Amino acid sequence: MALQDKYKELIDTAQTSGVSNLQVAEQDGVLHINGTAPSGDVKDKLWDIYGKIDPNFLTGDVVMDIQVATAVSGAKLKVVTESSNLNIRKGPGTDQPIVGKAAHGEIVTLISKMNEQWWLIRTDGGAEGYAYAQYLQPV
Amino acid sequence: MNLRHLTTSIMAIGLFFMIACKSKPKDSEIMNTVSTAVQSIPGVTADVKDGVVTLSGTVSTDDEKMAAENAAKSVKDVKSVTNNIMVAPPAPPPTAPVAVTADDSLRMAVADVVKDFPGVKVDVNDGVLTVTGEEKASRWKTLKMALDALHPKKVDAKGLKVK
């Protein structure tokens, strides 16, 4: 319970921000927080609060997976690589051949989610394939 | 003639009462039948008085409560049913343990994540991700989000130098 006290602000915010399927459970000294945020802003807010309570996330007492509800088929996604192009691959995996690229900041369309890591996307230029979800942000 | 009629009438009335008395169902018989009817619903007990059945006990759903009442009503000679059964939902199941990804699939997924973070090394051991090396704060946040999304048991970054 001590962890739930330490991260009370984070849990409270998740509860009051409309995070659905919210699961907060403590296991082996780690607080697991899972849920689906109604928007990317809410996800960002939760991560900011987490970073405020545990600067640079170094303590390792939280594992938080917040998905974004608006990331559904047909949604527009922004490529949020640091600066480089995002590889679009034939299949879900970095061992798969690259079939196209999306530029940093480009807006692409989500076709479907293979899993939480690999999303099938299409660029306006017509390239279609799998890209790593961490570099795609719903707009 | 009148006397014969009277005698017959008295006998007829007497016979009627005998039959009526005999055919009046006994509460104990109703009790047996009702008990058998509701025994498929655990937690329900029945009591019978003058053909009126009183059901009591505790069940977990409204459906069970109604099923017991209907079963009792369907028994012959039951005049009415007083349903005093309480509905108490069953205790919630113990919280499911947090699903932690197995090491093999975790290793593959981690490899996909960290390939874009050349300064960082992530070891996988028994569901725990140990992060070492150095990285900029904003990039580490991106990496941490990606690692957490893999549902590890823990992400230990004490050995990471954040620039």
Report chain A's terminal Cα–Cα distance, integer Å.
Answer: 36
Where does a domain end: B63, B87, B111?
B87
Which pLDDT value is given to residue B10? Answer: 77
The reply to whether B30 falls in a domain is yes
The reply to whether B97 falls in a domain is no
pLDDT tens, residue by residue, A23-81: 999 999 999 999 999 988 899 999 999 999 999 999 999 999 998 888 788 889 999 98
What is the predicted ipTM?
0.80
Provide the b/e sequence for B5-30 (b: ≥16 CB within 10 Å). eeeeeeeeeeeeeeeeeeeeeebeeb
The reply to whether B35 falls in a domain is yes
Q: Which residues of B touch A117 (CB under 8 A)?
A: 109, 112-113, 146, 149-150
Q: Which one of A34, A60, A133 has the shortest CB-CB distance to B158?
A: A60
SS (H, E, C) B43-107: CEEEEEECCEEEEEEEECCHHHHHHHHHHHHCCCCCCEEEECCEECCCCCCCCCCCCCCCHHHHH
> Same structural domain for residues B56 and B32?
yes
Where does a domain end: B36, B56, B87?
B87
pLDDT profile of chain B (163 residues), mean per 10? 75 65 72 87 88 90 91 89 87 68 87 88 93 92 92 93 91
Q: Which CATH number does the domain A2-68 belong to among 3.30.70, 3.10.100, 3.20.20, 3.40.1110?
A: 3.30.70
Does A21 contact B at CB distance below 8 Å? no
Domain of residue B72: give its range.
25-87
Which pLDDT value is given to residue B60? Answer: 86
Which pLDDT value is given to residue A115? Answer: 86
- Number of folded domains that form chain B: 2
Q: Determine the 3-state secondary structure of A62 from DSSP.
A: strand
Which pLDDT value is given to residue A6? Answer: 95
The reply to whether B98 falls in a domain is no
> Stretch A12-21: mean pLDDT, rounded?
93
Which pLDDT value is given to residue A105? Answer: 93
Which pLDDT value is given to residue B93? Answer: 61
CATH assignment of A76-138?
Answer: 2.30.30.40
Q: How many CB pairs under 8 A join A and B?
A: 70
Cβ contact A53:A9 at 8 Å: yes
Which pLDDT value is given to residue B94? Answer: 62
Chain A nearest C-alpha distance from B62 (Å):
27
